[in-house]
Structure 1
Amino acid sequence: MAKSREKTAAFHATAAVTLPVFGAMARVRVRNPEALPQEGPFILAPNHYSEIDPIVMGVAVWKSGRAPHFMAKASLWKIPVVKQILNGLKQIPVERSRTKTSGSAPMDAAAQIIEDQAGVIVYPEGTLTRDPEMWPMRGKNGAVRLAVDAGIPLIPAAHWGTHRLMPRYGRGIRPFPRKRIDVVFGAPIDLSGVTSSHSNKQVTAATAELMNSISALVGELRGLEPPKERWDPARAGQSETGRFSE
């Protein structure tokens, strides 16, 4: 089975160290783990509001039976412990400002992981949310395009509680008292009839649907109704809310 091949010795060794240490700082509770395919490739798209999010989502994916692979911003590689983990497990750094030369490298690496029948975790916002209330902001189209090109499931996900362990834009971890972090996986986004053309409005519409689904999952974990509009960083300085209607 694909899941047995992808859980390599490196993953098991990392899990043997990471899970007890992280578990001493936080209890990760996973809701609806059966929504994650138990074999075959997939794209998992979660919300993002703390630098420690990748470790949290990695723990959740591992506990759900799969090995986590990330497309995450390259600045995460500047955190010493995180850098060692990400490099050892062949994760995928994405530079915030990409050149023509480097821009295709993350997508090529992700495509190879997908070809190997593994799953890739993509943060569709591209960075930590700037929404003042930490709701997901407007997403980028990369997750949808990658899923459409590969013809694989695109699964929204959400978590809540990581900001108590490492605050947004914070660098220090607050391990005491032990935190509770909730993670939930949602139903796959319907991508039937969507093509990945750069000018295709369907991709943008599917990305909006993805972000709405992620926001709904975040609202489920927070016990709150998510805003009907996504925060748009490009417009934040031009309006009082900076929110973008989908």
Structure 2
Amino acid sequence: MVIPVFRFTARYHWHGPQRLPEGGAFVLAPNHFTNIDPLVVGTAVWLSRRAPRFLAKASIFRVPVVGRLMAGMGQIPVERSGRTRLNDPLGGGKSVIEQGGAIIVYPEGTLTRDPDLWPMRGKTGAVRIALENDVPLIPMAHWGTQRIMARYSKKLRLFPPSRVDVIVGDPIDLSAFRGKPLDQKTLLEATDLLMQRITELLEELRGERAPATRWDPSAHNQKETGKFA
């Protein structure tokens, strides 16, 4: 049901020569700024002849009808507490990788809080899956989904069709991190490299420069808390 709808409502414009690998496992890491992103990105991956598999909040799987659809499409539930059905927050992703599949992980973990929709500080899940399983980590950026659904909105704008620009980058060079203990320092350094590359791709699509300092939700929350201390 999703593919025909979004092939109609999203006019995809691909940038650059890079395309997703035709075979083999990899982790795809896109930017994330609207609730409709997974459907638009999933359709883009499907158009590249790969089956999209997402790590998704487990609460979605408890929604009537939607949950059954998500499970039927092979999406992977992740509990906010850090546990999945496999008692491992990344275990479902590993099983997809072992089968040679492509898994989509939003490294920001949620919609960006940056006021201008630039990528914010990332979390380490995408990098961890790629390093633990020794598979490519591919950055991706898109722009235009906010015309289909604004950030935090529940209202879809399906007509007229909206332009969605998409760019897939070269796999991140993780050679400096492979073989090292996957401690927090290593994972954060690799994640920062990933977020930098995603931001560069989005700059190319938007034709403008991102802020020099990436939005940090924890730092922002501390500032807001301090106002009322």
Percent of aligned pairs with the same residue? 51
Match of 1:148 in 2: 131
Amino acid across the alignment from 1:53: D
Find out whether 1:113 has 2:96 as its counterpart: yes
Q: CA deviation at 1:21?
A: 1.7
Task: Give the equivalent residue in structure 1 for 2:76.
Answer: 92
Q: Which moved more, 1:180-189 or 1:75-84?
A: 75-84
> Aligned partners of 2:114 and 2:2: how far apart in 1?
30
The answer to whether the 8 Å contact 1:28/1:56 transfers is no
For residues 196 and 167 of structure 1, the distance between their equivalents in structure 2, rounded to whole angstroms, comes to 41
Separation of aligned partners in 1, 2:146 and 2:21? 28
Residue 77 of structure 2: SS of its match in structure 1? strand
- Hey, what does 1:164 align to over in structure 2? 147
**Counterpart selection for 2:165 from 182, 194, 203:** 182
Determine which of 199, 207, 211 is the counterpart of 2:191. 207
SS at structure 2 position matched to 1:159: strand
1:134 aligns with one of 95, 117, 133: 117
- Taking the aligned partners of 1:32 and 1:96, their CA distance within structure 2 comes to 36
1:239 Cα deviation after fit: 4.7
- Please tell me the root mean square deviation across aligned C-alpha atoms, in Å: 2.3
Do the aligned partners of 1:149 and 1:196 also contact (CA within 8 Å) in 2? Answer: no
**Unaligned 5+ runs, structure 2:** 225-229
Classify the secondary structure of the residue corresponding to 1:236: helix
Aligned partners of 2:144 and 2:163 also within 8 Å = yes
**Counterpart contact for 1:155–1:186, Cα < 8 Å:** yes
Query: How many aligned positions are there?
Result: 223
Counterpart residue number, 2:227: none
Listed as ranges, the matches of 1:1-246 within 5 Å are 17-32=1-16, 34-77=18-61, 83-98=67-82, 104-194=87-177, 195=179, 197-239=181-223
Q: Matches of 2:183 and 2:31 in 1, distance apart?
A: 25
TM-score by length of structure 2 reads 0.87
Kept after mapping to 2: 8 A contact 1:130/1:233: yes
Q: Distance in 2 between matches of 1:43 and 1:196?
A: 19
